[in-house]
């Protein structure tokens, strides 16, 4: 088969024909010069484009762009309690903006927005001419940016006054127009533009200026917001009311000219005032728990990062929804109780100068506003002394108002110096005052003493309240989580719980007598002592705990073994300690949060819980990205796409048993006696089942109370940040326990009175409270906390035994026995000749007690 062959084109002839036609044109000098000029201009344009376009956002990044959003924090009940924001912004979709608002901004900023391709060329020419003129005469040229260019400026985050910035804006504006629709560009603009009062976006500004959503804005209100993109400070509704009205009316007239509204509507709107609210008066919720929120913020920063560059879920740009465990009622009660306790302890020590002042030749209001001073109480305020004379001082506040501080309201002596505090006041000093009357104030002092308070849910470990000091403003040091302090006697339950696991019982006899240990030739004897310096002789373990006897604790620790006690402390998360006997008296350092969690484990019958402040975190789209309990990872399948036909997965029990449940309950039962008869009897007035333990360290430098109910455990400590003596009268039962009592009166007011439930196997036996011996025939008097007979909790086969000789019971039964129920001496009793018929027991409980076999 013959192959087909195609004729090869004669390219030489074709080239000659092209040159024959084109060369005559290029032979003309003006055409040749124009061609060279065009080629050079095109090359220059490409080079400039490539130079300025480098580093600009790509089309893909523009399509996926999300503006920075603040993180919102909610409490235990789901209500908002705070935000983490540097830019107040609420993101809305384009369809959520009413046409009234859209038309107002288009009329004010870019009336040809829907017609141009990103650049308004007539406006650009005018802006170039104005820039050229101002370059000669001086001054700043007027802007000529379209809405698209303003979005480009926002994306570039460049506010420099330079031609290069405008070129980059123009290039990015073209890219925006080619990538996004007009509606998408306008949505970005309305959500991103800064409108003053720290409001970014129209919805945030609508709340900041009118306390309304955008859907509820009136015509003049929408027109005023459209004024603000030019320069929010120039049209401030308070400082520049007239300029704001003039500019707002201009926008209304532009809307009428563009046929968005009728002239009659514009005229009616121009006659109305601005109608804005005072800055800061639109808070929809009161931010609570400064220390709590700060601790949450720190944990979120460590997990998700701070800025947008750190990831899509950053704290200040990711728009996170954070659900915390904070219960606002408990938080308020804890903060109020701690502040009252700190102020009461510190109040009698005189007035303390803050050491802060302002320059009276400058704006003292702004300086006072910036002063990092927290006042704690709602009715305390920071003020600056403006003048003094005539037995009174004029003081000023951050909002510009003034008041009077009479000398009679500042008579307390200045701490460390002496003399009435009023005599030490000088103009420019920043002070703390409390309002007494309409315009009269009294001098107050920020307590120097510090402290921490934590409240935790027993079953889950969720932290319901946390207060780390007097006020987080000016002192972000969280004493509830960061301050390592010696717990003193509040550590003793750890010692006795370990002893209960290793053979001792609540009725075991411990000797309250001198106890010394040999520390070596260099150190000699170390002798321990009780707080009061006295001795009580042989007593029950319960009595030793209730009265917080150091010598009995040291003996129990020595008998049990310090290696076991420090192991228990480590299991409870208190810390790693060396096995020294002094640790049994609370010489090892820990924090309030850790100690409260250890008591929560005791109340939870030895099941481990871990303290958490955050329940879960959602991203801006509602997807859960963190959960404190990791339930879905443990359950496997709770995020399945569809139902598999089986039963709904149940969260497994995540609590590990770290203590013997019976020993843990015994310890809690003993600590109930601390409230009934011991060092925390002030809490008995609450009239509900409670347990707890006070603590006082050597000095005393710290005072403690930790305890609570079957559902809630709390702990509080007071002490100086640089530890020093608080005074010889300072004790946990006198200072810390009343603070907890004030909290409990407010927090537990409407809660049911729930008793502590014993775990399986616990035997409740009647014993003599003093001797620890078993009692028959007599029941405890529940109305009398100091009843001689009490119910005591024993582990199986550890309760005091009755005599094995029936004759002893028949002869009197209550012969003296030791702590194990054995007869103290052999006593021969004669059996009656004719045994009396036993009387039928009045109830089954008494029958069981008489038989001594079932509990």
Supply the residues annotated as catalytic.
Answer: 109, 489
CA distance 652 to 110: 60
List C-alpha distances in Å: 271 to 164, 235, 245, 628.
43, 18, 10, 56
Residues 713, 779 contacting (CB under 8 angstroms): no
Please give the full DSSP string across 313-378, using - where no structure is assigned: T-TTTB--EEEE---HHHHHHHHHHHHHHHHHHHHTT-B-----B--TTS-HHHHHHHS-----ST
Kindly tell me the sign of the dihedral angle through the C-alpha atoms of 482, 486, 490, 495: positive
Nearest CA among 221, 208, 215 for reference residue 284: 208
Q: Cα–Cα distance between 482 and 271 in angstroms, integer?
A: 59
Q: Helix-strand-coil percent breakdown of the chain, rounded to 5?
A: 40, 15, 45
What's the per-residue H, E or C state across 64-108?
Answer: CCCCCECEEEECCCCCEEEEECCCEECCCCHHHCCHHHHHHHHHH
Rounded distance between C-alpha atoms, residue 468 and residue 719, angstroms: 12
743/737 Cα distance (integer angstroms): 10
Distance CA 503, CA 663 (A): 10
- DSSP letters for 634-690: HHSSTT-SS--SSPPP-------B-S-HHHHHHHHHHHHHHHHHSTTGGGGGG-S--
- Among 96, 72, 108, 93, smallest CA distance to 217 is for 96
Residues 6+ apart with CB under 8 A from 735: 341, 345, 703, 718, 726
Q: How far apart, in whole angstroms, are the C-alpha atoms of residue 235 and residue 475?
A: 37
The whole-angstrom separation of Cα 58 and Cα 45 is 20
CA 324 to chain centre: 8
The residues, any chain, with a CB within 8 Å of residue 703's CB and separated by 6 or more, are 488, 694, 695, 696, 697, 717, 718, 719, 726, 730, 731, 732, 734, 735, 736
Q: Is 147 helix (H, G, I), strand (E, B) or coil?
A: helix
| Residue 574, C-beta contacts closer than 8 angstroms, at least 6 positions apart | 491, 494, 588, 590, 594, 595, 598
Q: What is the DSSP string of 454-482?
A: EEEETTT-BEEEEE-SS-STT----TTTT
Asked if 79 and 196 count as a contact pair (C-beta separation under 8 A), the reply is no
Beta carbons of 510 and 571 less than 8 angstroms apart: no
């Amino acid at each position: 088969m013959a192959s087909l062959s195609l004729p090869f084109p004669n390219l030489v002839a074709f080239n000659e024909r092209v040159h024959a036609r084109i060369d005559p044109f290029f032979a003309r000098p003006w055409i040749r010069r124009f061609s060279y000029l065009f080629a050079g201009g095109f090359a220059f344009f490409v080079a400039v484009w490539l130079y300025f376009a480098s580093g600009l956002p790509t089309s893909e990044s523009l399509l996926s762009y999300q503006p920075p959003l603040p993180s919102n924090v909610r409490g235990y009940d789901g209500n908002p309690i705070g935000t983490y924001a540097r830019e107040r912004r609420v993101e809305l979709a384009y369809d959520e903006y009413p046409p009234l608002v859209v038309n107002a901004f288009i009329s004010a900023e870019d009336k040809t927005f829907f017609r141009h391709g990103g650049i308004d060329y007539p406006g650009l020419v005018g802006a170039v001419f104005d820039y050229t003129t101002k370059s000669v005469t001086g001054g700043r040229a007027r802007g000529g940016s379209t809405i698209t260019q303003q979005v480009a400026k926002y994306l570039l985050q460049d506010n420099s006054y330079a031609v290069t910035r405008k070129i980059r804006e123009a290039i990015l504006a073209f890219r925006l127009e080619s990538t996004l629709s007009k509606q998408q560009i306008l949505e970005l603009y309305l959500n991103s533009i800064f409108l003053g009062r720290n409001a970014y976006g129209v919805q945030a500004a609508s709340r900041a200026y009118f306390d309304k959503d955008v859907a509820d804005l009136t015509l003049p209100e929408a027109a005023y917001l459209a004024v603000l993109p030019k320069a929010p400070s120039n049209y401030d509704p308070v400082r520049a009311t007239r300029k704001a009205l003039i500019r707002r009316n201009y926008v209304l007239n532009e809307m009428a000219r563009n046929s968005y509204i009728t002239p009659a509507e514009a005229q009616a709107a121009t006659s109305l005032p601005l109608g804005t609210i005072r800055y800061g008066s639109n808070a929809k919720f009161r931010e609570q728990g400064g220390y709590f929120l700060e601790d949450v913020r720190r944990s979120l920063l460590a997990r998700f990062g701070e800025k947008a560059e750190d990831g899509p879920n950053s704290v200040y740009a990711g728009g996170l929804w954070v659900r915390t465990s904070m219960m606002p009622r408990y938080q308020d009660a804890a903060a109020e109780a701690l502040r009252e306790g700190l102020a009461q302890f510190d109040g009698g020590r005189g007035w303390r100068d803050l050491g802060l002042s302002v320059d009276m030749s400058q704006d003292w209001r702004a300086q006072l506003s910036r002063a990092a001073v927290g006042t704690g109480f709602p009715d305390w305020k920071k003020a600056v002394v403006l003048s003094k004379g005539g037995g009174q001082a004029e003081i000023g506040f951050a909002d510009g108002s003034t008041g009077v501080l009479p000398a009679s309201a500042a008579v307390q002596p200045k701490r460390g110096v002496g003399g009435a505090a009023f005599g030490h006041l000088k103009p420019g000093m920043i002070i703390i005052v409390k309002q007494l009357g309409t315009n009269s104030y009294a001098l107050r002092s920020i307590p120097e003493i510090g402290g921490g308070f934590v409240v935790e849910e027993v079953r889950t470990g969720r932290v319901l309240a946390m207060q780390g000091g007097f006020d987080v403003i000016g002192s972000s040091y969280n004493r509830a989580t960061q301050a390592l302090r010696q717990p003193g006697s509040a550590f003793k339950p750890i010692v006795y719980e370990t002893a209960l696991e290793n053979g001792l019982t609540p009725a075991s006899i411990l000797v309250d007598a001198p106890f010394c240990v040999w520390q070596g030739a260099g150190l000699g004897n170390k002798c321990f002592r009780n707080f009061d310096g006295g001795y009580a002789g042989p007593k029950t373990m319960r009595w030793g705990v209730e009265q917080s006897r150091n010598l009995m604790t040291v003996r129990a620790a020595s008998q049990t073994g310090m290696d076991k006690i420090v192991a228990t402390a480590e299991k409870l998360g208190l810390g790693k300690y060396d096995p020294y006997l002094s640790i049994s008296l609370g010489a090892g350092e820990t924090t309030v949060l850790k100690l409260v969690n250890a008591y929560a484990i005791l109340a939870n019958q030895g099941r481990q819980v871990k303290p958490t402040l955050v329940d879960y975190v959602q991203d801006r789209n509602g997807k859960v990205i963190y959960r404190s309990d990791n339930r879905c990872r443990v359950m496997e399948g709770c995020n399945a796409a569809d139902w598999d036909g089986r039963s709904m997965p149940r969260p497994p029990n995540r609590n590990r048993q770290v203590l013997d449940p019976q020993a843990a309950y015994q310890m809690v039962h003993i600590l109930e006696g601390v409230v009934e008869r011991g060092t925390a009897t002030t809490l008995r007035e609450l009239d509900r089942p409670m347990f707890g333990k006070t603590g006082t360290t050597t000095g005393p430098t710290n005072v403690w109370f930790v305890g609570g109910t079957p559902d809630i455990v709390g702990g509080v400590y007071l002490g100086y940040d640089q530890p020093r003596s608080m005074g010889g009268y300072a004790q946990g039962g006198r200072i810390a326990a009343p603070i907890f009592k004030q909290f409990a009166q407010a927090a537990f007011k409407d809660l049911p009175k729930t008793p502590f439930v014993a775990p399986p196997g616990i035997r409740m036996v009647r014993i003599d409270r003093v001797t620890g011996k078993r009692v028959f025939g007599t029941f405890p008097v529940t109305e009398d906390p100091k009843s001689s007979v009490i119910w005591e909790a024993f582990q199986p086969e550890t309760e005091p035994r009755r005599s094995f000789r029936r004759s002893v019971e028949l002869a009197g039964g209550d012969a003296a026995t030791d702590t194990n129920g054995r007869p103290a001496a052999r006593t021969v009793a004669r059996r009656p000749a004719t045994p009396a018929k036993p009387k039928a027991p009045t109830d089954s409980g008494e029958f069981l007690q008489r038989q001594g076999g079932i509990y």
